[in-house]
Amino acid sequence: MSLPVSSPRFAGIDTWVFDLDNTLYPADHDLWPQIDARMKSYIAQHLDMTPDDAFKLQKEYYRRYGTSLRGLMIEHKIDPAAFLAHVHDIDLSGLAPEPALGAAIAALPGRKMVYTNGSERHARNVLERLGIAGQFDAIHDIVAADFHPKPTAEAYQRFLAAHGVVPTRAVMFEDLARNLEVPARLGMATVLVVTPGHSGAGRESWELEGREAPHVDHVTDDLEGFLKALA
């Protein structure tokens, strides 16, 4: 059950960790569908598969390994740098600056970080487009994680060690409930960010599960408002 924003669970936080895609911008933007389509085309081309078979493999690896890339590296020795460059070559014109969100993030006490299963370059491009890049102290991407993706425990341990994060004084904002399970176990406060009215079209059904899971402290469909309430 979600805690109220004023819950003591959020007191004493000095590190604020945000996922990027579908968290710092709503899931109803077209960015993730673009990335999804480019992953499918890359797999089809490099593994000589039909687009339909490539899409099935992409989603199978995504669920099994945490990211499609991790599965492709393990099963097919795909070059991660080439893959990331291809899939993140997308049109960001649909994103508009979010100065109010930037102000809400800036008002939070302590460090603010982005932790993404994507690339640092993609994260910087998105943050610049949103006009909030200056609010973050660090970006921890899939390369920094040595390609160990969320939701694996090893990925989070690497993140905490790399940035000296004390989990009991940190909070994780994510759009996937399964990516909050390990942070909660480590002692982090957890917030699931959802998009109001979003049908979930283009996403796997399991991605939308977990709102009522015990490892989710809070669910919000208004990240900006939630952060303002905390500050």
Domain ranges of the chain: 8-26+97-230, 31-87
CATH of domain 8-26+97-230: 3.40.50.1000
What CATH class is the domain 31-87?
mainly alpha
The CA distance from 197 to 200, in Å, is: 9
Question: pLDDT by residue (tens digit) across 16-36?
Answer: 999 999 999 998 899 999 999
Identify residue 104 by its one-letter amino acid code: A
Instruction: Give φ, ψ of 114 to 5 degrees.
Output: -105, 130
Do the domains 31-87 and 8-26+97-230 match in fold?
A: no
Name the pTM for this structure.
0.92
Burial 91-121 (b: 16+ CB within 10 A, else e): ebeebeebeebbebbeebeebbbbbbbbbbe
First to last CA, the chain: 22
Q: What sign for the dihedral angle of Cα 99, 102, 108, 109? A: negative
Tens digit of each residue's pLDDT (9 = 90 or more) over 87-128: 999 999 999 999 999 999 999 999 999 999 999 999 999 999
Are 88 and 18 in contact by the 8 Å Cβ rule? The answer is no
